A and B are shown apart, each in its own frame.
Chain A
Amino acid sequence: AQSVTQLGSHVSVSEGALVLLRCNYSSSVPPYLFWYVQYPNQGLQLLLKYTTGATLVKGINGFEAEFKKSETSFHLTKPSAHMSDAAEYFCALLNQAGTALIFGKGTTLSVSS
């Protein structure tokens, strides 16, 4: 069965510090992977996605993620956190049939000044 695991339900960083949000997946087929961000009382916004090709994927707002097949990981990073990055982040995997997203449980990112 396919699944997504986000390690750490809550990550706190200082403004200007590196952001690292961890995501591991389980899939018997080549995965399509996503990171979404949810700001309070808002919908989900796509940060970036990996389908095929280059394993380092750049997204919006300075975020990037690297697909590592050997580690079954797709960790999200940003070199320097900004206060506006404080939000809920979800890693997701497209199911094998290509008909729905399977989400991790989310990681809350807090940024302090």
Chain B
Amino acid sequence: DTAVSQTPKYLVTQMGNDKSIKCEQNLGHDTMYWYKQDSKKFLKIMFSYNNKELIINETVPNRFSPKSPDKAHLNLHINSLELGDSAVYFCASSPGTGGAATEAFFGQGTRLTVV
């Protein structure tokens, strides 16, 4: 049973489209994250949610909107996709923030390709 699961694993779409990536964790964790890995494999935090509340929103275009319907889910919706959005997006979760953030688990990633 996968701890942090993302769907889809691969997503190919045209510029201008709107798409969503879903993330679910079955660990009972309170905190969830979205990280972006660019073409040079650099990983950077996009959003952090704690108990469904947004606690980090890095410098990310407004076209990216996270939604946390409950503690177990954190979805990422992207409007008006651009070529530069092509990347691997990782979802992660941890029991909480602070010291509890040291127990983070990552999903398998979603490879988004915008053509």
State the A residues within 8 Å of B (CB). 32, 34, 36, 38, 41-46, 49, 51, 88, 90, 94, 97-103, 105-106
Alpha-carbon distance between A103 and B40 when the two chains are bound, in angstroms: 13
Whether B33 and A100, one on each chain, are in contact in the complex, defined by CB atoms closer than 8 angstroms, is: yes
State the B residues within 8 Å of A (CB). 4, 31, 33, 35, 40-45, 48, 50, 55-56, 90, 92, 97-102, 104, 106-109, 111
- Minimum distance in angstroms from A92 CB to a CB of chain B: 8
Given contacts A43-B107, A43-B109, contact A103 B102 (CB under 8 A): no
Contact pick for B42, options A44, A94, A106, CB 8 Å: A106
| Cβ–Cβ < 8 Å partners of B101 in chain A | 32, 94, 98-101
- Interface pairs (27), CB distance under 8 Å: A32-B99, A32-B101, A38-B41, A41-B109, A42-B108, A43-B106, A44-B90, A51-B102, A94-B102, A97-B97, A98-B97, A98-B98, A98-B99, A98-B100, A99-B50, A99-B97, A99-B101, A100-B48, A100-B56, A100-B101, A101-B35, A101-B43, A101-B101, A103-B43, A103-B44, A105-B40, A105-B42
Alpha-carbon distance between A90 and B56 when the two chains are bound, in angstroms: 22
| Cβ–Cβ < 8 Å partners of A106 in chain B | 41-43
Alpha-carbon distance between A98 and B97 when the two chains are bound, in angstroms: 5
Alpha-carbon distance between A93 and B102 when the two chains are bound, in angstroms: 10
